[in-house]
Amino acid sequence: MELSKRRFKEDFKRTLTELYSMDVQQSELPEQYFTLGNLVRMYASKNWSETNRRYLEKRRKQVYYFSMEFLLGRMLKSNLLNLGILDTVRSGLKDLGMNLDKIEQVEQDPGLGNGGLGRLAACFIDSMATCQIPGHGNGIRFKYGLFKQKFVNGYQVELPENWLQNGNVWEVRRMNLAVTVNFYGHVWLEKSPAGYLIPHLENEKKVLAVPYDTPVIGFNNQTVNTLRLWSAEVPPQDEVSDYWSYIQERNKIESISEVLYPDDSNYEGRLLRLKQEYFFVSAGVQSIIRHYRKMHLRMTQLAEKVSIHINDTHPALCVPELMRLLLDEEHMDWDHAWNVTVNVLSYTNHTIMSEALESWPVEMISTLLPRIYQIICEIDRRFVDSMSALYERDMIERTRIIEGGHVKMAHLAIIGSHSVNGVARLHTEILKEKVLHDFFLIYPSRFNNKTNGITQRRWLMLANEPLRRLIDKKIGNDWETTPTDLKMLGAFRNDQATLIDLAKIKRLNKQHFADYVKKNMGMTISPDAIFDVQIKRLHAYKRQLLNLLHILSLYFRLCDDPEADIHPRVFIFGAKAAPSYTYAKEIIKLINSVADLINNDSSIGNKLKIVFVENYGVSLAERIIPAADVSEQISLASKEASGTSNMKLMLNGAVTVATLDGANVEIRERVGPENIIIFGLTEAEVYQYYRNGSYHSHDYYEKNPVLHRVLDALVDGSIPGVEAEGRDIFNSLVNYGDEYFVLRDFEAYALAQEKVDQLYRDPLKWQRMALINIAGAGVFSSDYTVLQYANDIWDVTRKSR
């Protein structure tokens, strides 16, 4: 948008007075932030309204991206950048005696996600607006998010993440668009004179779903799409006869939209998760149908104007919910309703881990969602009947939706969608050949790959402004809208001046992170050390343990010889463990205990440090990623679907240490094998071990003296304060099979890390590798990924720019 500095300053001062009845000199950071946020939302409002009007008038087909998570990060600078007024506002605020960076710190990270799933969804809605694809997000407005992580004596403690305490300046409450979602009750069917079945629901529990809309602003265009998040509230009542019963019921209803991923280690927690999933699915699909009616088209044409995307299995109930609305409210016959449903819906699988493929007990679904369960049963029955003449009984039983007393949500999503995609080429091949092989045989044309992506706007243009300026200087700024133009940087791979500039920027970013660590953690770390980064959700398959065992091996080497030739290194961790995931929480305790041991041992001369940041999230990632020298992508091959931290880190010039897992395979192809450090088992070797059962982790413990010493340290008192945790982890690795082949890959990993140490000693060679990684990162822009979805799956067209 066009905005002069003079007009901005006038608008800001006027808005500040209108909101707070004060002038600039009286204001403090909170007033400045909320004034600026309201003003930015106002700047976007005209295009937001115009975008919605245009979509409706032109009957544009629209995409609705259903996701349990949207890990947005702070939105202030992102919105300013996309509106094209970041520099104007920064300069205008400076004239008023204010600092944009300080104002931004007031904003809380929205508590709407946990890891890669939610960050991907956030990148996708940003890219859809930027690529002018009519696409919107649909999720839950979690009051407390996942949790606020604190470390107490090294243990993870979960506290409420009260991110809405001071309000959310970006959202608009749309009470007039609220819908009712029904739970429980008894359903009986009556045949109408016209021949269709009329369901009657009695004694149901009603929940009011209230939408809160957030503008999603496209980069340097006039498109503003919508992220709609639903809040669970008590429906209006004429009177309250029993106040305390009302309070109890209100608390129960409001809990639906309070916490992301309630503890599922007990029945009540699992029930609440199922409530959440149906709540935002039903509210969202009802809202879509209501909006579609404004087009005055037949319901049989729904797939021509609506695409609903199921991001992982959490929204899989879109299948029976859309069927319910078409059958019960639109009175379509089954076959027509099913055809519409399949053509409207598409599904992304995000996991190879069988335990992450959701299933719900039949008793739970039939009690909580009686009409939905009836429809699922009918979908299942018709699927079995249609397959009975084509496939053997065993295969039908493996692929049906209801099996063993459980409803399998991935099966429901696959059967009820016209497209099923994986999120990296290797991941998709594993789905087709192994995890979902039976479904691939049944529906081969449905399966396709869409490798994940990231938005370069947040992860480079905002998070690393010095690097952005250097790139603009070298190749111009067309890469900001055509990210593959970053490949032109490759022309400077042998330009010493460019490589030196790149090194200066990296050191500046490392100094900034070191300053943050000093201020917030009281630790001193040297920017001259290698910053070795592993930032991702804590799970055993991601193998933070492998990293830690190697750190211990370096530590013991320095204990034996303090003069050992090891380049100083700072190991940086950021990770949350699910509250009920005991083993992951034990790993967190072990990392923190090892950090206490190493960080306080003066005998090793500051050659090793461990920084484990609390409450890792998007804003912390924006500090860490530009400062990273090494990107740890060390999951067991075949277990990580894609990964996106690998892409963010390479975009900022980190060199990747990786297994051939997920998108690492494609990263290697882009940068060349000489610019990435690969180690460990391949996917084929892992599955060979599965087939022949020949892996015996105890043998590696016995035969490798370095590994033996490191593992013994877990149980012999070398690491204070981890007696129970150390024993559990030792047993899991040595005596109970080492599920994720940590010991098998240890030696190869140690050699890879030795290679890092040697390469880093040649500054120009290291910076050349960094530059080639940056140059190769453009292809992993989420802009390209959503365009592939739009063309291949959603069948939507982008507006001509």
CA distance 185 to 206: 10
Mean pLDDT of 761-782: 98
Which tens digit of pLDDT belongs to each residue from 355-408?
778 999 999 999 999 999 999 999 999 999 999 999 999 999 999 999 999 999
Model pLDDT, residue 797: 81
pLDDT above 60 for 801: no
Reported as half-sphere exposure (CB side, CA atoms, 13 A), residue 755 has a value of 17
Mean pLDDT of 593-616: 97
Model pLDDT, residue 727: 98
Which tens digit of pLDDT belongs to each residue from 624-644?
999 999 999 999 999 999 999
> Helix (H) and strand (E) counts for the chain?
32, 23
CA distance 206 to 180: 6
Burial zone of 26 (CB within 10 Å; 0-12 exposed, 13-18 middle, 19+ buried): exposed
Residue-averaged pLDDT of the chain = 96
pLDDT above 90 for 244: no
184 three-state secondary structure: coil
Q: pLDDT band at 239, cuts 50/70/90?
A: low
Mean pLDDT of 540-555: 98
Active-site residues, by number, are 350, 536-537, 542, 644, 648
User: What is the SS3 string spanning 106-152?
Assistant: CCCCCCCCCCHHHHHHHHHHHHHHHCCCCEEEEEECCCCECCEEEEE
Model pLDDT, residue 388: 95
Residue 597 in tokens: 């041991």
Which tens digit of pLDDT belongs to each residue from 465-495?
999 999 999 999 999 999 999 999 999 999 9
pLDDT above 70 for 800: no
Which tens digit of pLDDT belongs to each residue from 101-148?
999 999 999 999 988 999 999 999 999 999 999 999 999 999 999 999
576 three-state secondary structure: coil
Contact between residue 749 and residue 634 where contact means Cβ atoms under 8 Å apart: yes
Which tens digit of pLDDT belongs to each residue from 78-96?
999 999 999 999 999 999 9
Q: Which residues neighbour 7 within 8 Å (Cβ) at sequence distance 6 or greater?
A: none
Mean pLDDT of 716-742: 97
Model pLDDT, residue 301: 98
pLDDT above 60 for 661: yes
Dihedral sign for Cα 461, 467, 473, 474, please: negative
Model pLDDT, residue 794: 98
pLDDT above 50 for 659: yes
Q: pLDDT band at 799, cuts 50/70/90?
A: low
Model pLDDT, residue 242: 83
Rounded to two decimals, the pTM is 0.97
pLDDT above 50 for 34: yes
Distance of CA 586 to the CA centre of its chain: 23
Which tens digit of pLDDT belongs to each residue from 687-712?
999 999 999 999 999 999 999 999 99
